[in-house]
Every structure is written in C-alpha cells, then in structure tokens.
Amino acid sequence: MFKKILIANRGEIAVRIMRTCQEMGIATVAVCSDADRHALHALEADEAVPIGPAEPSKSYLDIDRIVDAAKQTGAEAVHPGYGFLAENADFAERCERERIVFIGPPAQVIRSLGDKLTARRIMQAGGVPIIPGMIEAADAPGAWAAAAERIGFPLLVKASAGGGGKGMRIVERPDDLAEACRAASREAAAAFGNGTIYLEKFLPKSRHVEFQILADGQGRILHLFERECSIQRRHQKIIEETPSPALSPELRAEMGQAAVAAARAAGYVNAGTVEFILDPAGRFYFLEVNTRLQVEHPITEMITGLDLVRHQIEIAAGRPLALTQDEVRGRGHAIECRIYAEDPEQRFMPSPGRIAFLREPAGPGVRNDCGVYAGSEVPVEYDPILSKLVVHAETRELAIRRMIRALTSYVVLGVRTPMDFLLDVLASAPFQAGETYTDFIAAHFADWAPDRKRLELAAMAYAADAMAPRARTAGPVAATAAHPGPWHTLNHWRL
C-alpha cells in the first residue's frame, strides 16, 4: 500500500480524500495556489506545497508543477479528485512516465472516453444503447443539415470534448441549426481547445440517471446502483438522490448490466460513472462516462456503506475487488444538495468573499463534506462549491424531511448561498412526487425569487437582537454568553 499520496485538487474534495487516507494510515500532500495558502485542504494535509498564482492554468492545471510537487515530497501516487486535471489524459500519461501512480483509469481510457464521439462508437460496438445521432464529426452546414434531417427535430448540438454544458445547444427548427452549430463550436473551442461538435436527438421530459462502477485490474467490474441527477441548472446538477424514484427493480438490473458492459467495452479500471438518459417510456440510452470520482459520490456511499475513495486507492495499488455484485446492497434513501457561494437573486452568479460565520448542520443521518471554515476566503478564481450536504434515511419521504431540517439549520454568513432555493425545490409538490426531469428547474422555478416575508422576519430578528440591552459582565475580563470565560464557568478557584 502507498505510504504517501498527493491530492491534486482543492476544497471539499481534497479534504474528503485526505480523511480516507488518514484512516488508512497514508500520509497526505496538499498543493495550494497563492489564494489557498490558508485553505482548509492545505491545513488538513500532512504537507502542503505552494504551486503558484491563483490563476488555475498556473497552479492546479499546471502538470509540471503538480508532478514536481509529488517528486519533491516523495508521494508515490496522485489522486486527482474531480475537475482540474482529473480527466486529463496527458496528466495521467505523465504520471505513468514518472512512475507515479495515477489513482484513476489508464490514460488511453480517459482519452477515448473523453471524446464523446469516440465513446459513442465504443458503446455501440459493445452493445450499449446510444441516443440516435451522429458517430462521426461534421464541420459544414450541409453535413449538419443532412444529419439533422436523418435524426429529426428537436435535436441537441454537443461538443465532442469537455462537458459541463459548454458547447451545447437545443435546436427546435431547421432555420436555427447552422448558427447553433457555429456558436457551440466557438464555445467548445474556447473552453476545451477543441471545437468539434456533433448532433444527437434531443429527448424532452427525460431523466438523467447514472450508475457508479468499480473495476479492478483483474477484470472484475461491479455497479453500485444508480443516482438520479435530473435536478439541474444550466446542465449542472444541484440535487442528487438514490435510489431513483423512476426505476423498478427490473429496470435497475437492466441498466446496471448496461453500465458494466460499458465499462468492459472501454477497458475501464478504477471508479467511474456511466451516465444514461431515461425517457418516459423507460427506454435508456448511453450519455457519457465520467472517468473520475463524481461530486455526488457520497449518496452512493451512504446507501451501500462503501468508501469509494478507499476502493479507488486499493485498486490503484493493485488489489482486487473483494466484493461480488451480489454482496453489494443498497439500504434506505440518500439525497445530496450542493452548497455553492452564489447569489440566487443575481442569476446564481458566484459570491466570493470571506466567510464570517459558519454553523454546519448535524444530527442522525447527516453528513456535510465541507471545504471551508469561518474566516476562510472563497476565491473568485475557482468553482464556488463550499460543501456537499448529504442525508440518509429509511425512506425517500423521510430523507426529504431530514434534508429540509438540515438546510434550515445550516448557517453561512459573509457570502450568499442558494439554500433558500434548494429548500423551495425540496418542498415543491413535483419534487416530493418524484417528478424529477431534466427540465424541472425551467418548468417550475424559472421565475424563482426568495420569500420576502422570510427575509423581513430575519431582518427584524437581527434588529431586535442588536437593540436588546446586554447585561454587563463583572470581572477583569469581559465574556459573552456565546463565549463565556473562566470567570463564568469555574467555581471556587484561585491563581
């Protein structure tokens, strides 16, 4: 087993990986930009190595700096987390050349599955159903029009490289096709350095359902059930749950087998996620493979009791999976809400700044994978996720109630968060009925605004508290009720 692992990431995912390493007796190395010198992940690690300016391209995305940090500290392996270099085949290849173990799939697998057109061809050859559409690139209006006529409208223009909704356009009419393709290609080129696009059928009123997989180096592949990820804003997930309210046991088994087939067709090793689109008739189609740990992995851990990071590390160390598919059990229901520093009243724009106060929720079945603390800074340069709030309960109804209670007790001051928005989504009748489709936010919350009465009540409570008379504290040192000193807490003592 490894003695030291470098975590090539920041924030809550870096902290989460470190905690499993600590349980396994593995020393950890953090890397930190100038903006993150005092970030939680840098403080939690056994060692922290500065790697450059706040700009990601000069720090967290700089392969040379990351590899140098690993060699400088004697780290035998690198865990990339998600984002940054996690799905960068060049980084995985460089680690292999430098004899540093990359905790993830082989570089060639990342490269093949990172290109959506290549991935579609692999899945088609492996017998995995794919969404009707192109399997070869086209870069001319005539070719786009011919493909669109064959596929039929509405259709989706997608970037072959990258993800996160960039380079993606829904096209309803033939007249809009050429401009949508050009715009998607420009956006993809700017975001990923690759403007290749393709067309596929757009399936309205669909669900986004993904399956967690684990594959060892000896050929054993397991799925760890599904995650429902249909609640999305601008193609980014914000609430995830498992099990999906849409899947019967039979459909779950069929999709799980398809996920395993997808991993086998790609030669997959380590943890990954096979994503599907599920239509209202119960037909499912391959969407993509995420060749890394997912943001929403904790809900799978909650229902299965498995530590996915531990399994990633053990597989990377050459150990076979000690589980069989029949031994994987799901129990209860889990929900995750992503807590971002963003302003829901300003179209969810990032809300960087200093966290003035933080009170995390607690209680039975509550987990908060958090990457900040009171007094820490939320930089403008990075994804503004603060934490992932996760709950687990016996049933979906109880899990929703538990999440509502947890969100209500979660306090973050100094930056804005979308917790009021999340509460309204969870409390809505469509969500509670399990009617969670990818157009959920657009259909039900397009014109969302916070409850002004709730804001006014909070303001009045703050004003009343600020104006209330305070009892004077006796003694040489003042203390507040929230932070009492020894003069208030000790009896019959002397220096």
Q: Active-site residues: which are they?
A: 292
Encoding tokens for residue 162? 């990258």
b vs e for 111-122, b when ≥16 Cβ sit within 10 Å of the residue's Cβ?
A: bbbbbbbebbeb
- Cα–Cα nearest to 82, from 368, 426, 417, 385: 385
> For residues 434 and 242, is the Cβ–Cβ distance under 8 A?
no
Work out the angle at residue 389's Cα, subtended by the Cα atoms of residues 437 and 384, and round it to the nearest 5 degrees.
Answer: 85
Burial pattern 157-167, b for ≥16 Cβ within 10 A else e, equals bbbbbbbeebb
Beta-bridged to residue 208, according to DSSP, are 277
How many other β-carbons are positioned within 10 Å of the β-carbon of residue 205? Answer: 11
Distance, in Å, from the CA atom of 272 to the CA atom of 300, rounded to the nearest integer, reads: 12
What does the block give as tokens for 306? 């498995």
Q: Label residues 56-93 b or e (16+ Cβ within 10 Å = b).
A: beebbbbeebbbebbeebebbbbbbbebbbbbbbebbb
Burial of 191 (0-12, 13-18, 19+ CB in 10 A): middle
Taking alpha carbons only, the member of 123, 171, 118 closest to residue 147 is 171
Give the three-state DSSP class for 389. Answer: strand
Q: How far apart are CA 11 and CA 454, in angstroms?
A: 31
| Cα–Cα nearest to 180, from 144, 137, 232, 228 | 144
| Block residue for tokens 């020393």 | 27
Q: Are strands 333-340 and 385-393 parallel, antiparallel or unpaired?
A: antiparallel
Q: How deeply is 479 buried, as exposed, middle or buried, from its count of CB atoms within 10 A (0-12, 13-18, 19+)?
A: middle
Mode of pairing for the β-strands spanning 169-171 and 77-79: unpaired
